[in-house]
Structure 1
């Protein structure tokens, strides 16, 4: 089993966290704590769930991946609200949505593989 830090999904998650921090810096002070910190915390939670999923097997792994996908959807919504309210730049929005799409695809594939794996 590879270290979680070597997984492509983890590297993508780290890039997303970097963008989340940049988004928080761009936000007006009035929403920095409410919106910016929530986005950043969800990204940190996703990285933690990736590590937990990598360290477990089958049913437990599937649960962690499903939680990871829920965080991915929540971040997408929060970033959409931020973009629509013009709290973040269109470039940052586009870059983050691309990374979120990649994480969603990788996690979805990981979940399918986990659910197909024979019970050990």
Structure 2
């Protein structure tokens, strides 16, 4: 899937979801064709974050393969590969404050994106 198309979809959905800063994110996102909803496979916390984030999968049978963090404009700022864990802690202290997109790939090759606010 084209990453720019994926970001466009994610941003459009985020802007239309009427979420309020500081509230927990929705547990579902719409598929690209808007025909189905898919449950998020992971929780990224804390959000907003300062120095570290944790990513925990909801399904203990799955593992994180990789995590990529993008600035909101689509520029890749961090990448973590070959993780093979159900829960990970990542340092984000080098990132500037702002909004980021966190894309993670699971052991079943499902890819999902969530928003992250760095303070």
TM-score range, shorter chain: under 0.3
Greater RCO, 1 or 2 (C-alpha within 8 Å, sep 6+): 1
Q: Highest Rg: 1 or 2?
A: 1
Q: Which has the higher helix share?
A: 1
TM-score by length of 2: 0.27
Q: Which has the higher strand share?
A: 2
TM-score by length of 1: 0.26
